[in-house]
Structure 1
Amino acid sequence: MNANVKLYWILTVFFFILAGLYTAWSLLDAAHQQVEWVGTVTLLLSGMLWALIAFYLDKVHKAQGAELAEDRLDADIEDGDAEQGHFSPWSWWPIVLAGAASLVFLGVAIGPWIAFIGGGILVVSLVGWTYEYYRGYFAH
């Protein structure tokens, strides 16, 4: 992550320099001789975006305290392997949930009646996925 933070700070400086050059270039243009605001603001906002990301990642990296596996040259791939959570490989609920979300978005685009049907299926599938370990073969 340390390399990413340095890269993002470099990109921040690059975009701010580029915004200054772009503004100077638009002022030196013989045809217009005025600031072209769309490009200048876009480049400034791009620099601010990279600064925000670099600042956030720098704070996260410092808050973790220890050196991360991806920052060490002698690290192996499995050193950065962390627990990702528990997922049921046999569960059909995520597929039903994705289909229901698709119906909701389709309903927003085409007709509200499809969104209401998708919303009902969405609630049922969310409850089913949440409580799948409380019933059946895999109950706790």
Structure 2
Amino acid sequence: MKSETWFFVICTFFFVLVAPAYWFVTEDPTGTSALVMTALLTLLVSFYLGAHARKMEPRPEDRKDGEIADGAGELGFFPPYSWWPLWCGLTLALIVVGVVIGWWLVIIGSVLGTVALIGLVFEYYRGEHAH
């Protein structure tokens, strides 16, 4: 995680240097505040990654003597294909369109969205991919 920490520290310094330069060149308060907030967000991520890098043992890519083979093994659980995100997205689109067309469509979209969200959350408890 140390390499990621340094990446965000460098980004933070970049945005800290660019924000005042942008202000002096353009005098645009919107862009300047966006750059300042971006600098603060990259600083936040830097502190978070740095704190975790101190607490955990170094990964193979963080060690000087690390080999590619040291990182071999199981990486984690990757879910198979699923249709539930499609239904969640379509019901969200139905809700958004319902705000424009009529509130009755928002209610229908909310009910269908609740069903789709329950299906998404509990898809690994039933059927072919149950644990």
TM-score, length-normalised on structure 2? 0.65
Aligned residues: 127
Do structure 1's residue 44 and structure 2's residue 29 form an aligned pair?
no
Give the percent of matched residue pairs that are identical in Structure 1 and Structure 2. 31
Larger radius of gyration: 1
User: Quick one: distance in 2 between partners of 1:68 and 1:117?
Assistant: 49
SS in 2 for 1:58: helix
Matches for 1:1-140 after TM superposition, within 5 Å: 1-22=1-22, 25=24, 36=27, 38=29, 39-63=31-55, 65-72=56-63, 73-76=66-69, 79=72, 81-84=74-77, 87=79, 89=81, 92-129=83-120, 130=122, 133=125
Mapped to 2, the partners of 1:137 and 1:47 lie a distance apart of 46
1:31 corresponding residue in structure 2: none
Q: For residues 67 and 124 of structure 1, do their structure 2 counterparts lie closer, same or farther at Cα, with a shift above 3 Å needed?
A: same
Task: Give the CA RMSD over aligned residues.
Answer: 3.6
TM-score by length of 1: 0.62
Map Cα deviations across residues 92-113 of structure 1 (whole Å, 9 max, x no partner). 4444333323322332344322
Gaps of 5+ in 1: 27-34
Task: Structure 2 unaligned segments of length 5 or more: list them.
Answer: none
- Contact kept, 8 Å, 1:69 with 1:79, in 2: the verdict is no
Extract structure 1 runs of 4+ deviating beyond 6 A: 136-140
Residues 67 and 131 from structure 1, CA distance in 2 versus in 1: closer, same or farther, beyond 3 angstroms? closer
The verdict on how the C-alpha distance between 1:40 and 1:99 changes in structure 2, with shifts beyond 3 A counting, is: closer
Whether the 8 Å contact between 1:12 and 1:48 is mirrored in structure 2 is yes
Aligned CA distance change for structure 1 residues 106 and 75 (closer, same or farther; 3 Å): farther
Give the drift of 1:6.
Answer: 0.8
